[in-house]
Structure 1
Amino acid sequence: MEDTTENVDVESGNTSDPEEDNCSDNDFEPSKLGTKEYWEDAYQKELETFTDIGDVGEIWFGEGSMSRVLRWMDKANIPENAAILDIGTGNGAFLVELAKHGYRNLTGIDYSSASVELARTILHTEGLTDVTVKEMDFLNCHGDLKGFDVCIDKGTFDAISLNPDNSKEGKKMYLKVLKDALKDKGFFAVTSCNWTKEQLLDRFSEGFDFVQELPTTSFQFGGKTGNSVTALIFKRVH
């Protein structure tokens, strides 16, 4: 939402002026989207639907969100054997696309057991049996995530920011775990519908260099142009 005057929480409809509230610890009102219970229930329903009719369910931010990251990976010459982590893998749709794109060292994690079961089931149906999917809370992985060349987040940092229980500490822990998970000069691709470019640049200013912004669909309102989704690439630096 660069260049627009308001930042909108898609769940609650709340707005904040980034000039007055740039990267504060109370950026958004708490939401059920920030709770494990919400996602466990959502993915349990998607798992039942996939079992019944083979529908993989919702692709968070749409297929375009995967395509833009894949195009960047092509241009950045990310090798096929790069260690890639999908943070908050959900139904595993991005893992499927990465595997079909030729990437061979893939790991997806999610704190929802239903998500993990759904992702594994979909990957197995696609014949992709060498992709690793783990039930793991990114904020409580206790140093188990190390050595990744690329970490990808489509909405997980958003959800952590909406958690009713101490999102301030969650955002700080997210940054710490992300730093530990990435190799030096490893890449972080983040897609957000709650954070502006400026806010994300501020959040990830410590330990990361900004690489580029990926193009997303723009809109016009009140004479200003903005984006409903922000997608940025960072590089880990020590």
Structure 2
Amino acid sequence: MEDTSKLNTSKLGTKKYWDDFYTVEKSNFEENPEDTGECWFDDSNAEDRMIEFLQDHLGEYSIAQDASMIDLGTGNGHLLFQLHEEGFRGKMVGVDYSEKSIEFAREIMNSRFEEDSSLEFSAADIFDPSWDISQFDVVLDKGTLDAIALSGLTSPNGKPITSAYPKVVEKLMKKNSVFLITSCNFTETELKKMIESPVLQAWETIQYPAFKFGGQVGSAICSIAFVKK
């Protein structure tokens, strides 16, 4: 049976693409401070849905107003900025392998959240074994696994780099921490197959408008919350 979780490679999976992209976004912002760049999955209101999910589940597992959060593949930091504006006040860390995206996120942060020590952005290769960072109450991914899958990169064992992703996420989580991921390339079934383990278990799925095509019902986007047991 064909493995539908394998995607064709794309420039969207390359560091150069994102460095070039955020160089332009940063330049646009410097010309117009109102232009904070692209909000991924905006047409599906995915970011709002993720934030609403966390608000609706306050007090469950490790979700709290002061929960520490890390955003993997943070880009321009938009998700963390919105969470901050919605009243979440725990430590928030955005990481990305594109140094240009981190420069852009820091520039936005400094212009809008001066002297706020709860927000932090850093460039990092999350697959680097030497990458050492603390554990968090909430781990976020909005399209990052999608981009990783498009890179075509493999792990030292020859398997697709996506196969190493769940272990990276687990390392960042405490017991009862929540991993909230949104994807436009993988279905709910595929995400669960890729991520679930005895340690990381599916908890809740965010519902999006469904469509019917070829007798099959689905949606263009998928968000699932997993819990570390």
Q: 2:99 aligns with which of 108, 113, 117?
A: 113
User: Would you say the 8 A contact 1:35–1:164 is kept in 2?
Assistant: no
Contact 2:188/2:222 (8 A) holds in 1: yes
Q: How does 1:21-100 map to 2 (within 5 A)?
A: 21-23=3-5, 27-54=6-33, 55-62=35-42, 64-77=45-58, 78-100=63-85
Q: Secondary structure at the match of 1:176?
A: helix
Aligned residues: 216
Structure 2 Cα separation of the partners of residues 177 and 137 of structure 1 = 11
Per-residue CA distance 1:30-81 (angstroms, 9 max, x = gap)? 1111111111111111001111122111111117111111111112112122
Q: Distance in 1 between matches of 2:109 and 2:72?
A: 16
CA distances 1:96-144 after superposition (whole Å, capped 9, x unpaired): 1111112221111111111001111111221253211111112226251
Corresponding residue number in structure 1 for 2:224: 232
Question: Do the aligned residues in 1 keep the contact of 2:65 with 2:88 (CA within 8 Å)?
Answer: yes
| Alignment match, 1:154 | 142
Instruction: Give TM-score scaled by structure 2 length.
Output: 0.88
Q: Is the 8 A contact 1:183 1:236 kept in 2?
A: yes
Match of 1:126 in 2: 112
Which of 159, 164, 178 pairs up with 1:187?
Answer: 178
The one-letter amino acid of 1:221's match is F
In structure 2, the partner of 1:9 is: none
> Does structure 2 retain, via aligned residues, the 8 Å contact 1:189–1:233?
yes
Indicate if the aligned counterparts of 2:180 and 2:225 stay in contact, CA closer than 8 A. Answer: yes
Mapped partners of 2:200, 2:57: distance in 1 = 17
TM-score normalised by length of structure 1: 0.85
Of 217, 223, 232, 2:209 maps to 217
| Aligned equivalents of 1:142, 1:166: Cα separation in 2 | 18
Correspondence 1:102 to 2:87 = yes
Counterparts of 2:162 and 2:179 in 1: how far apart (Å)?
15
Unaligned runs of 5+ in 2: none
Contact preservation (8 Å) 2:153, 2:160: no
* Equivalent position SS for 2:207: coil
Structure 1 residue 145: Cα displacement: 2.5
Larger displacement relative to structure 2 (55-64 or 162-171): 162-171
8 Å contact kept, 2:146–2:183: yes
State the superposition RMSD in angstroms: 1.7
What CA distance in whole angstroms lies between the structure 2 residues aligned with 1:137 and 1:218? Answer: 35
2:167 to 161, 176, 187: 176
- State the Cα distance separating 1:169 from its structure 2 match: 4.0
Residue ranges of structure 1 left out of the alignment (5+ in a row)? 1-18
Provide the rounded CA distance (Å) in 1 between the counterparts of 2:51 and 2:67. 13
Letter aligned with residue 3 of structure 2: D
Determine the C-alpha separation between the residues in 1 that align with 2:73 and 2:145.
9
